[in-house]
Amino acid sequence: MSPESVTADRIHRELKLNIIEGEFGPGAVLGLQLIARMFGTSISPVRDALNRLVGERIVELQPGGGFTVPVFDNRKAYHIYSWHADVVRAVVKVMDKLDRLGPPPDFSSRESREPGAIASATAEFFTALASCSPNPEHLMAIEVLGERLHVLRLQEGMFARQAEELGSLWKLAGSGNRNATRVAMWHYHRKRLLRASDICEAIILHANRGKGPEP
């Protein structure tokens, strides 16, 4: 692998994390020169990394050229949550390798209940759940959706007792009771679908309190 390819891989990995963690606000322009300065490199590997992120739908390519962070509105958030619910429902129907779930995390500490920790634990749970499916496409779909959902999950603090909810889902799925798990997953997603607009508003408020770097 050429040095430029190695650099592009590093930028892709680190920039993706910055974006899904909300360090760049919705609609932020990702200027090539800005990103190159951030990573101390030339424009070429930056462009390569951003094009990969466009393919993963973490970044959007503008019609007139240039790259931006996606803006979540009610419609887009609703559709992503809905698609995640559809994939999870398909997983629950066929899950059979329940040992891959493992036990839920310990949510007893204050740090484990912080928004970032809950969002990461949620991604870990659904990834582990999808790995219980004999169909590897389920796992790949959940991983991709999880990255796109992360910025939304960071703003789900409006839901009470998130840690308890996640712990209960984890244990229920591990029990192998498909019907009870399906019903619980339906309630989990329905709550978020009904509050999709509120979650989007929370993302905007968060971005306004601490905007990412400007070009």
Going residue by residue through the chain (215 aa), what tens digit of pLDDT does each one get? Answer: 577 788 999 999 999 999 998 888 888 999 999 999 999 999 999 999 999 999 999 999 988 889 999 998 999 999 999 999 999 999 999 998 888 888 888 888 888 889 999 999 999 999 999 999 999 999 999 999 999 999 999 999 888 889 999 999 999 999 989 999 999 999 999 999 999 999 999 998 888 776 544 44
- Count the domains in the chain: 2
Nearest to 142 by CA among 183, 90, 105: 90
pTM: 0.88
> Domain range spanning residue 42?
3-71
CATH of the domain at 63: 1.10.10.10
Residues 97 and 82 in one domain: yes
Residues 37 and 78 in one domain: no
CATH of the domain at 176: 1.20.120
Residues 6+ apart with CB under 8 A from 53: 12, 15, 16, 19, 59, 67
DSSP 60: E
Q: Where are the beta strands (DSSP E) in the chain?
A: 60-61, 67-68
